[in-house]
Amino acid sequence: MTTLTDPPAESFKLSMLVYDTRYRSYTFQIIALIAVLTLLGWLTNNTVQNLHDLGKEVDFGFLNTPAGYDINQRLIEYDNQDTHLRAAFVGLLNTLLVAVLGCVTATIIGVIVGVLRLSSNWLVARLMTVYVEMFRNVPVLMWIVLAMAILIESLPSPRDFRGDTPEATMKLFDTVAFTNRGVYVPEPLFSRGIGDLSVFGAFGISLDLVAIIVVLIGSFWVAKRIGRKADATQEATGVRPRTWHVQTAVIVLPVVLLLILLGFHLGYPALKGFNFQGGTHMRNSLIALWLALSLYTAAFIAENVRAGILAISKGQTEAAAALGLRSNRIMNLVILPQALRVIIPPLISQYLNLTKNSSLAIAVGYMDITGTLMGITLNQTGRELETVLLGMLVYLVISLIISGVMNVYNERKKLVER
Amino acid sequence: MSDTHAETVLFVRETMLEQQEPPSSIVGPVGWARSNLFNGWKNSLLTVLSLAFVFYLLSGLLPWFFSPTWYSTSLTECREILAGHEGACWGVIRERWLQLLFGFYPSELYWRPILTLILLLLALGPVLYTDYFPPKLLYFSAAFPFLMPWLLWGGSIWMPLMVAAGFGIGYAVFAAMMKVANAGISLFVAAVVAVLWWIFLAAPVANGIASLVPLLPLEPVPSRNFGGFMLSVTIGVTAIGCSLPIGIVLALGRRSDLPLVKVLCVCFIEFIRGVPLITLLFVASVLLNIFLPPGTNFDIILRVMIMVTLFASAYMAEVIRGGLAALPSGQYEAADALGLDYWKAQRLIIMPQALKISIPGIVSTFIGVFKDTTLVSIIGLIDPLGLANAIRADTAWNGVYWELFIFIGAVFFIFCFSMSRYSMYLERKLQTGHH
Amino acid sequence: MKKSVFLGALTVAGLAAGVAGAATVDDVKAAGKLNCGVTTGLVGFAAPDANGEWEGFDVGVCRAVAAAVLGDPTAVEFVPTTGKTRFTALASGEIDLLARNTTWTFSRDVDLKFTFVGVNYYDGQGFMVPKELGVSSAKELDGATVCIQTGTTTELNLADFFRVNNISYEPVPIETNAEAQQQFLAGACDVYTTDASGLAATRATFENPGDYAVLPEIISKEPLGPLVRHGDDEWGDIARWTLNALIAAEEYGVTSANVEELAAAPTDNPEINRLLGTEGELGAMLGLEADWAVKAIKAGGNYGELFEKNIGENTPIGLARGLNALYTDGGLLYVPPFR
């Protein structure tokens, strides 16, 4: 009946691996795989051979030996008898600290500068341009070193606070001391604290802080419920009951009560011996790194922000103006929310850059993971392979987490188009 | 009606008034200042604050900056000249500026890096300023990568010629293979042949010919003597130049339909972009020798160049991927409709356009890489910052700080600023092309 | 040279294998130059001058070895190394000799597998403080801020010292001596600790050196010396005996000025004759020429001359010989006999 017949079943020929598009992709992929595996195998083989020749086998045991060196900036307890692993962890926390601080500050400065670059004030716009160009076109390593040098040279040393007629005095009603060793600010203390919670016996988390955070979250949740109830009332009756005083009280009172219960007070820094004692000491290395990284990254963010704002069509501004919005509200309510979608993807890569640039901390002696694990530990133990690979892995994980989180956020902020 | 009108109106102007000058508060410097600096109290406040800031900054810096210490020969002499006043000690720049620019390159051979830089600009001309340079110069641009190592490192010209010959051999193989196989396979075979040539034959052949016919031998300069800005520029230019082809391959791989190739490229790109450059430099300085066959040893500058190239190629791949993504899909479809195969479509339709769109991104990647070369000072190379350290270890200049940093910062600024201006010019130019 | 050109080096990477296993001295002779690791810059010990020529006390050792092996004190390729890269550079064969004020310790010798060929400077870790602090002993430094160079043994010594004395301190890690100096002068740290030679050198360059004092405590032994890889004893011997020859030359009164004259013909002193190769076969035993020591001494003078020229009392650094005097003058320099 039918004139259509199946094409004759082609028998497989070797040449089809190359000429037939159905198989060619497999051929290429297998070749690529073999090439990569060969390369990896070759490298591993060399490494094993070389390490054997040097008499150094891959061994992470050094991580459990006492580190022997001190770290000035630490978020968890550490002394020189603790292990290299703990030292690396101290470094990791320091990296995260400066990265988080830097990202927040850089965003704030970047947005302000980006908006001001478009200011109608000629002088301000020019000054911002000078700032952006200066920071973008000089290596960040130089800015870090310069920030440190400026802090050291321009601030008074603790010595200057001494004597009957000191050359320098503490600022803000004798509570804050700016010295070239860092800034000493009052620290929160609890005279009836409930102690620390030990996690895996490795480090403690202040239960006072946890309690305060829990209470705060609870209060905010209650305040929000009150707000929702007011919304419901408004929907039903058209009259919105006044709730702000109740909400404020709900948020403020429990925390204040808790603070009084815990015996909250401030510990002020005071000059004792060689240094200021008491208070929280923000070291110059941290401040210099933070400042330099934020200012450097902010210059790039400012450009992204400017580009984002310029990408919003002028019609939006005019429409907002026609609605009678004032210029700062136009910026806040109409332009920036739209510009955000353009700004966020480059912002993510700026955050990543800042985090990676924080590895230059060794230039100012800030003990981040590069300074501890890939610095002193590498030096003292001679374990180059293990330390450097471990350090790279840590940075890789941090980077992947940041870009993952920011991509999720970006996904949520994306314009829903129909 | 008209009569009444004529009676009621006492005066009718019959000639136009002379046009008057606008009030001085609207035009001229005053008007400009009013509209640009003092419109509204907020702006006025900002202006006054900014002025105060600028004044404060300059009044502190300028007296220090202008200090009569140009001819001093040591810090002690500077202190004598300044006699207790605050002031810069510029003698260190006068004595060391050549070293900061060229490192330890033999001073009688300074013409070579200078000539290389001029040739580099000439080679970049037809690529960057397509309007002003004859397209024929592109042949020179293609020759430059082989000229540069010869001029900088010296030796006989045969080595770069033999490396160039590798490309010729590769092309010949490619052309021959095209008769029997498709482009992908031909390219693959040609690449294998060229790599084999480079690895096993190029050096012996070059040495052989050089011993017979020493054509234009230049005095060899070991890369250990490279330093200062010359080192930064060499690393930067090499990294960008070499990373461009690698970046194209990676970008194509990342957009490829072959899942395995795609995964490999994504892994490589994300790995390199996920770790700081300094860790890659640590790998170059302490680990690369462990990864290579026992006894392999090539100098640290070459190792650093390889790592910086890998680093740059990951970023380059992303830039080019952006360029590829920015091409309207109609271009791809049109290429398919013409019946071009993958390689032809890439070569004739996609890449020329995608690369053109990517040039601003490539330039900013280059600026980034160029700035990042300062990191090599951390692993002990004598780049400008490393050299600043070494200079301060000289007893005459121990204690000099700001002067060196200001000089280095200024030179970096000039380089990077002019490049970023160029990329802005290009963006403007490309933009007009679209509308 | 051609080998390091561009792709040529990759070629070498692909082909050459097992080079490091060969005798270092043959490699050095074949290359016609000595790869010598030095610091990236330390006043008096190694620093490049305006013409890019390296100068300093450690540099002198490199030049002497190059002169002994190759007959040319300028046939040295100086490789600046950091605290981090120095050992890898030596282990991987990038450098043949490391003369970078490196402390001879058990673990470096045994665990990291290097051979220290001697001591060219006996140092110890000290403290420098501003006089206005009124501190006269390191034990009074409770709570002080201490500037310290990272990546050195000084860091560990410091931690040990304060722990043993049960006093607290705040370390301020610094990358280079220049930065430490800046921080110390500005008062960002109360104390600067490093090798006593470094302290003296740093203090000498201050605007008012009299305002600062070096405390009497020396908290560690820091014998600084050149080192080579484990396993190549011939090369180790050459480096060791070149250093010894410089010290012996000072002991016997052989200087760069009179060495030619003394080497021209055998003298009355058989030790000098053997050292300078006019008697015996010492050079041949090392696999070098008979006048190897003559060349080494001519390169920069004997140990005393090197010391005086680079770090001695007449230089801005102004170090006294102290422990580094010959044993005959109450120091520790005592070389085995040349026979």
Q: What are the DSSP calls for B54-66, one per residue?
A: HHHHHHHHHHHHS
Under an 8 A CB cutoff, do C79 and B298 touch?
no
**From A71, A181, A363, residue closest to C188, measured CB to CB:** A181
Give the range among A250-259, C4-13, C30-39 with minimum mean pLDDT. C4-13
Confirm whether A249 is domain-assigned: no
Which chain C residues are closer than 8 Å to B394 by Cβ?
A: 41, 43, 47-49
Closest chain B residue by Cα to residue C81: B380
Nearest to A144 by CA among A294, A352, A351, A303: A294
Residue C226 identity:
P
Q: Looking at the domain assignment, is residue B82 inside a domain?
A: no
Neighbours of C327 (CB within 10 A): 12
Beta strands C76-81 and C34-39 are parallel
Domain architecture of chain C: domains with CATH: 24-120+225-329 (3.40.190.10), 130-222 (3.40.190.10)
Q: What angle do helix axes B384-392 and B402-434 make, rounded to 10 degrees?
A: 170
Are C88 and B286 an interchain contact pair (Cβ–Cβ within 8 Å)? yes
Say if residues A220 and A251 touch (Cβ distance below 8 Å): yes
- Asked whether residue B383 is domain-assigned, the answer is yes
Q: Which residues contact C261 (CB under 8 A, 6 or more apart)?
A: none
Same domain, B308 and B367: yes
Cα(A241)–Cα(B409) distance, rounded to whole angstroms? 61
Whether B255 is in a domain gets the answer yes
Question: At C79, which amino acid appears?
Answer: V
Q: How many residue pairs bridge chain A and chain C with CB atoms within 8 Å of each other?
A: 95
Task: Check CB contact of C318 with chain B, cutoff 8 Å.
Answer: no
Asked whether residue B150 is assigned to any structural domain, the reply reads: yes
Residues of A in contact with C132 (CB under 8 A): 159
Would A127 be classed as within a structural domain? yes
Interface of A with C (CB under 8 A): 54-55, 68-72, 80-81, 149, 152-153, 157-160, 180-181, 272-275, 277, 284-285, 362-363, 365, 367, 371, 375-376, 378-380, 382, 384
**CB-based contact, A136 to chain B, within 8 Å:** yes
CA B79/CA B74 separation, integer angstroms: 9
Based on the structure, what is the number of domains in chain A?
1
Interior angle at CA A244, CA A242 and CA A250, nearest 5:
125
CA nearest neighbour of C62 among C77, C49, C48, C50: C77
Q: Which of C190, C193, C212 to mutate to test the interface with A (most CBs of A within 10 A)?
A: C190
* More confident of the two residues A18 and B428: B428
Q: Is the Cβ–Cβ distance between A361 and A370 less than 8 Å?
A: yes
**Are B271 and B365 members of one domain?**
yes
* Same-domain check for residues B30 and B125: no
Is A261 within the bounds of a domain? no
Give the B window 313-372 contacts with A, CB below 8 Å: 367, 371-372
CATH, residue B414? 1.10.3720.10
In terms of domains, do B229 and B262 share one?
A: yes
How many structural domains does chain B have? 4
CA dihedral A87, A93, A95, A97 (to 10 degrees): -150
- Asked if B148 and B207 sit in the same domain, the reply is no
Contact partners, residue B398, CB within 8 Å, separation at least 6:
B75, B392, C43, C178, C181, C202, C205
**Are residues B263 and B358 both part of a single domain?**
yes
DSSP labels, C23-59 = -HHHHHHHHTSEEEEEES-BTTTBEE-TTS-EESHHH
B213 and B296 part of one domain: no
- What's the pLDDT score for residue C17? 37
Strands (E), C5-150: 34-39, 47-48, 54-55, 76-81, 97-103, 114-116, 121-123, 125-130, 144-149
What does each of the 435 residues of chain B score in pLDDT, given as a tens digit? 555 555 666 788 888 888 888 877 777 788 888 777 787 788 888 889 989 999 999 998 888 888 888 888 888 888 888 887 888 889 889 988 998 999 888 888 889 999 999 998 888 887 777 777 777 778 888 888 888 888 888 887 887 888 888 888 888 888 888 777 766 677 778 888 888 888 888 778 877 887 777 777 788 888 888 889 999 999 999 998 899 999 999 999 988 888 888 899 999 999 999 999 999 999 988 888 888 887 777 778 888 999 999 999 999 999 999 888 888 888 888 988 998 888 888 888 888 888 888 888 888 888 999 999 999 988 888 889 888 888 887 878 877 888 899 999 999 999 999 988 888 888 777 765 544
Contact list, B372 vs chain A (CB under 8 Å): 139
Boundary of a domain, candidates B175, B193, B217: B217
Q: How far apart are CA B95 and CA B253, in angstroms?
A: 51
pLDDT over 70 percentage in chain C: 93
* 3-class SS letters over chain A: CCCCCCCCCCCCCCCHHHHCHHHHHHHHHHHHHHHHHHHHHHHHHHHHHHHHHHCCCCCHHHHHCECCCCCCCCCCCCCCCCEHHHHHHHHHHHHHHHHHHHHHHHHHHHHHHHHHHCCCCHHHHHHHHHHHHHHHCCCHHHHHHHHHHHHHHHCCCHHHHCCCCCCCCCECCCCEEEEECEEEECEEEECCCCCEEEECCCEEEEHHHHHHHHHHHHHHHHHHHHHHHHHHHHHHHCCCCCCHHHHHHHHHHHHHHHHHHHCEEEECCEEECCEEECCEEEEHHHHHHHHHHHHHHHHHHHHHHHHHHHHCCHHHHHHHHHCCCCHHHHHHHHHHHHHHHHHHHHHHHHHHHHHHHHHHHHHHCCCCHHHHHHHHHHHHHCCHHHHHHHHHHHHHHHHHHHHHHHHHHHHHHCCCCC
Domain contains A193: no
- Whether residue B317 is found in the same domain as residue B176: no
Last residue of a domain, one of B217, B235, B256: B217
Cβ–Cβ under 8 Å, residues B364 and B424: no
- Domain residues for the domain of A125 are 64-136+283-413
Beta bridge partners of C213: C129
Domain co-membership, B397 together with B271:
yes
**Neighboring chain C residues of B103 at a CB cutoff of 8 Å:** 52
Same domain, B304 and B398: yes
Instruction: Tell me whether residue B267 is in a domain.
Output: yes
CATH code for position A355: 1.10.3720.10
**Neighbouring chains to C with at least 3 Cβ pairs closer than 8 Å:** A, B
Q: Is B15 helix (H, G, I), strand (E, B) or coil?
A: coil
pLDDT at C32 over 70: yes
Domain co-membership, B135 together with B182: no
Domain that holds residue B129: 117-155
Give the gap in angstroms from C-alpha C85 to the nearest C-alpha of chain B: 6
Whether residue B95 and residue C9 make contact (CB cut-off 8 A), yes or no, is no
Assess C183–B contact: CB distance below 8 Å, yes or no: no
Residues 21-60 of C with CB under 8 A from B: 21, 39-44, 46-52
Let me know whether B289 and B421 are in one domain. Answer: yes
